[in-house]
Structure 1
Amino acid sequence: MTSRDDREMLRHHGDVDAAAGLLDFAVNVRLRRPPEWLHKRLVAALERLGSYPTAEDERAARDATARRHGRLPEEVLPLAGAAEGFALLPALRPRSAAVIHPSFTEPELALRNAGVEVSRVLLDPAEGYRLRVERVPEEADLVVLGNPTNPTSVVHPAETVRALVRPGRVLVVDEAFMDAIPGEEESLASERLPGVLVLRSLTKMWGLPGLRAGYALGEPELLERLGRCRPHWPVGTLGLEALIGCASPEAVRESERAATELVRYREELASDLGAIPGLEVGRPAAAPFLLLRSEQGSRVRARLRERGIAVRRADTFPGLSEDHFRVAVREPEENAELTAALRGILGC
């Protein structure tokens, strides 16, 4: 059983830490609004809101996403955000699930709420939170892993992730931040592996948290099981239009450029923060955020908020403590504000 307090911790997300008027390092969304070309495309699609999304609309979204990953349309399931994919996991009827932590907490919450037995596989900070396949229970018929992992910013080698595949097991790989890694070399999105379900999001790269758009990739039979109990029209016209636009070759090239830029910003920020005594920076980092630790973590977060800066508390992630907090990677000017504030708080 999961207590009410535990459920509330699992439901905590960065948008709760952010508030109007604060410089937002709590939410991992690259843009404050969608790029102009995507905004115009969505505005044009408003003309179609007087009709239900059609089968042709969904097929176009599946086709575009399939081309983007070299898959078949039948291997794509549009979702109302990757979070919907986590909410649907109980439909797979696992007997015993394993969730690899620290990681995004919605999958565990959805499974526990459905009465599924969940084992937490806690990765070791002394090992850099790297995946150890032998720690995952063999009897687990559903395993959930983030790659790259939120909030540790660790990317696991695709070879290691593949080693989790077993007959009779569903492996769910949360790749919500994979498009922020240049080349996406450790992604399984384009691979046809039995029992592997890859979840993707448009939210982070394209500034679309209010739209809720994402997709699942996997075997057609597995996707059919996942979506069997969904209502009609689970993804609206705008979500389907976003999937089509963000899967275009031009959009993929733009995301690649953005990912390369984010690497530079992240490494500069990590270097600057790493020079502050009393502040630990989780390295190596691969995603557009950093996991930080200070023995005064709770006080540091409160003092940052007093200075108008929001960061993500991280004690709600299993395996982390009140000393931990996560910061998104922003552009250099904003990153400099965060660095200066932390230097002042920690007495540097």
Structure 2
Amino acid sequence: MRTDGADSADSAAEAGAHDLRHHGDAEVRDDGSALTDLAVNVRADTPPVWLRERIAASLTGLAAYPDGRAARAAVAARHGLPVERVLLTAGAAEAFVLLARALKVRHPVVVHPQFTEPEAALRDAGHTVDRVLLREEDGFRLAPGAVPKDADLVVIGNPTNPTSVLHPAATIAGLARPGRTLVVDEAFMDAVPGEREALAGRTDVPGLVVLRSLTKTWGLAGLRIGYALAAPETITELERAQPLWPVSTPALAAAEACVSPRALAEAAHAAHRISADRAHLVARLREFGVAGLRLVSPAEAPFVLVRLPRAAAVRRHLRDLGFAVRRGDTFPGLGEEWLRLAVRDRSTVNSFLQALAEAMRRAGG
């Protein structure tokens, strides 16, 4: 399904139908009670002690301006790329703003449902955005033919937030065209065992820009660190749009630490653990046997997307029971019957599922 973004008034109304700036942290922010958080997709119990110590050690150098050369070289080496293909950013979200401001595009397309910041950034930069809406009946999987041929900027997440769908790398790479920038948000790829279907490190796909975040796996959302991988000329354009010293010294220290062999081994271990915990969550949800309860499957990210009757009421009752989950109706292509659940350890999941059963009972489910 495709929505026509040709008319600016229609486009503005389309954007207004969804709160593109609503994110999972809003579910747990400004609440006096201590909610168990299944709304934010940051790995629990992070950052680890060794990473906190590395970041703390960097504080002795705060009198000097940040120098990103070592961190940039470390990220480049992690992906087998020259440093000219790497740009460090204040989280992957900054990269979306840079792309929207720096690139001269006529017909940007965002594949939804997905993280809403790319579209929000494009609209803020004055672009009219065309949407490709993936369908539940297709398992929210990409149909390449749905992307307009004249699109000169295409944005897609892999694995996709909030659907947890992992698209084949070959399918996404097949979207590349001469004159087109293909942006792939791989913020959650390091939570996929083996990072299968990753495009990071590829140099054979024309116009490819891969974005990575270090905030999810390492619990650094408050520090803001990520990076873009692209052709040198694209990196140069994005760098020109950045303010001076956009990444702080502590964030640079974190970047260098998080791509070290030790960190990569730890992330790989965490990915397998998350996969097992997700399988437990999915299996238990399927045991509910509630009419209308559906899961997007197979889920491959550190969260699952579920559809269930009276989801808005269930979410409110879950809050009363001490649990926060992510509403789905702010994502284009989804409605208020959708919820996104972050994967947590089995003990937390079991407690949550007891609360979910009670919340559904209270909601009349």
**What band does the TM-score fall into relative to the shorter chain?**
over 0.9
Q: Which moved more, 1:222-231 or 1:201-210?
A: 222-231
Matched, 1:147 2:161: no
Shift of residue 117, structure 1, vs aligned partner: 2.0
**Corresponding residue for 1:28?**
41
Structure 2: 5+ residue runs without aligned partners? 1-7
**Corresponding residue for 1:176?**
187
DSSP-derived class of the 1:311 partner: strand
Q: Deviations over 1:304-334 (max 9, x none)?
A: 0111110000100000000001010001111
**Corresponding residue for 1:346?**
360
Alpha-carbon distance in 1 for matches of 2:174, 2:49:
41
Structure 1: 5+ residue runs without aligned partners? none
Alpha-carbon distance in 1 for matches of 2:351, 2:22:
26
Q: Deviations over 1:138-173 (max 9, x none)?
A: 111000000000000000000100100000000000
Contact 2:91 2:225 in 1 (8 A): yes
Alpha-carbon distance in 2 for matches of 1:7, 1:40:
44
**Corresponding residue for 1:267?**
279
**Corresponding residue for 1:222?**
234
Alpha-carbon distance in 1 for matches of 2:44, 2:66:
27
**Corresponding residue for 2:25?**
15
- TM-score, normalized by length of structure 1? 0.96
**Corresponding residue for 1:112?**
123
Aligned AA (1:270) = V
**Corresponding residue for 1:83?**
93
Contact 2:18 2:332 in 1 (8 A): no
DSSP-derived class of the 2:131 partner: strand
Shift of residue 291, structure 1, vs aligned partner: 0.4
Matched, 1:47 2:57: no
Shift of residue 94, structure 1, vs aligned partner: 0.9
Contact 1:62 1:74 in 2 (8 A): no
**Corresponding residue for 1:314?**
328
Contact 2:281 2:343 in 1 (8 A): yes
Alpha-carbon distance in 2 for matches of 1:225, 1:191:
20
Aligned AA (1:47) = T
Matched residues, number: 345
**Structure 1 residue ranges (4+ consecutive) displaced by more than 3 angstroms after TM superposition:** none
Shift of residue 274, structure 1, vs aligned partner: 1.5
- Correspondence 1:239-254 to 2 at 5 A: 239-254=251-266
Alpha-carbon distance in 1 for matches of 2:69, 2:65:
14
Alpha-carbon distance in 2 for matches of 1:328, 1:138:
35
Contact 2:44 2:344 in 1 (8 A): no
Q: Which moved more, 1:292-301 or 1:312-321?
A: 292-301
- TM-score, normalized by length of structure 2? 0.92
Aligned AA (1:48) = G
